[in-house]
Structure 1
Amino acid sequence: MLGPFNRAGRRKPMGEINVVPFIDVMLVLLVIFMITAPMLTQGVQVDLPQVTSEPIEETEDRDPIVVSVDRDGQYFISLGGDESPVSLDEVSERVIILLDRQPGTQVMVRGDRNVPYGQVVTLMSTLQTAGVSNVGLISEPPPGDR
């Protein structure tokens, strides 16, 4: 009589894992990230000054507000979104609105190396008037420091 404890019909347990499906999934993810990564680096074309400096430690999960000045002297604001030219007054208004929504957000300035120094100082003064107490300046490391 064959009962539920009959060992004649049992298979031997398999001691290995088939990793081929995992490799397929990883290759698909690799292709997806390779295609989408260049799309994530959008922004205003700014020729940043190259200096050696320590990176700023990120204290929060939020993206900083980046105010850019291109070589033509146009201002742009980006907070992970679309960048379109704005006036200096609009910079002040938008930064006030953004800081009201998310207080404590870092504000960074990207200034093209060919922009007059006075224009960057005017922008920083406008940001200070808008209530920004701490402004960071974005630069690129020299080619040998990368």
Structure 2
Amino acid sequence: MQGPFNRSGKSKPMAEINVVPFIDIMLVLLVVFMITAPMLTQGVQVELPQVTSQPIDIQEDNDPIIISVDSDGGYFITLGEDSTSVSLDEMSSRVTTIIERRPGTPVMVRGDRNVAYGQIVVLMSTLQGAGVANVGLLSEPSKDG
């Protein structure tokens, strides 16, 4: 009698691995990630100005503080995945607390292109008063190159 089991008590080891279940799991995970990836966009919807510039290198272990100003003039603080709406006075105390806990945390400003320049200057002055030495301005790459 042939096969992995015979009556003589000697069993023949099976040298094949069934990979079909692994392929099924991989395809299910692929579909799940394809569906959830577009939903992972986070933060406040702002229309950034488009310019040509060099990207800033950010260390992997140090998430930046992103302060957004939407088209209505509202302020939002984003740290990691948490985004909260704040007033200008409250922002100063929150940024000071974060900088004291994690010195060297980069601070970035995302301003909608329709926000008045004066409002961004007031925001940057407030950040300077909170102890932030350097502020980065975020933009989107230019579409025409």
**What's the TM-score bracket when you normalise by the shorter of the two chains?**
0.7 to 0.9
Shift of 1:115: 0.9
Shift of 1:131: 0.7
1:55-107 alpha-carbon deviations (Å, 9 max, x no partner): 111224132111011111111111121332x2111111110111122221111
TM-score, scaled relative to structure 1: 0.83
Separation (CA, whole Å) in 2 of partners of 1:60 and 1:11: 51
Shift of 1:12: 5.5
**1:83 matched to which residue of 2?**
84
**2:65 matched to which residue of 1?**
65
Shift of 1:34: 2.2
| Misfit runs of 4+, over 4 Å | none
- RMSD (CA atoms): 1.9
Separation (CA, whole Å) in 1 of partners of 2:30 and 2:130: 43
Question: Which structure has greater strand proportion?
Answer: 2
**2:10 matched to which residue of 1?**
9
Separation (CA, whole Å) in 2 of partners of 1:96 and 1:42: 23
C-alpha contact 2:47 2:112 (8 A) present in aligned 1:
yes
SS in 1 for 2:32: helix
Separation (CA, whole Å) in 2 of partners of 1:109 and 1:21: 47
Using the TM superposition, name which of 24-33 and 133-142 deviates more: 24-33
1:3-50 alpha-carbon deviations (Å, 9 max, x no partner): xxxx98341551x43321221121122122223222321221111000
Return the letter of the residue paired with 1:143. Answer: K
**2:43 matched to which residue of 1?**
43
**1:140 matched to which residue of 2?**
140
C-alpha contact 1:44 1:83 (8 A) present in aligned 2:
no
Identity %: 68
Separation (CA, whole Å) in 2 of partners of 1:64 and 1:136: 10
Using the TM superposition, name which of 107-116 and 31-40 deviates more: 31-40
**1:92 matched to which residue of 2?**
92
Return the letter of the residue paired with 1:112. Answer: D
**2:108 matched to which residue of 1?**
108
Structure 1 unpaired stretches of 5+: 1-6
**2:21 matched to which residue of 1?**
21
Residue-pair matches, total: 137
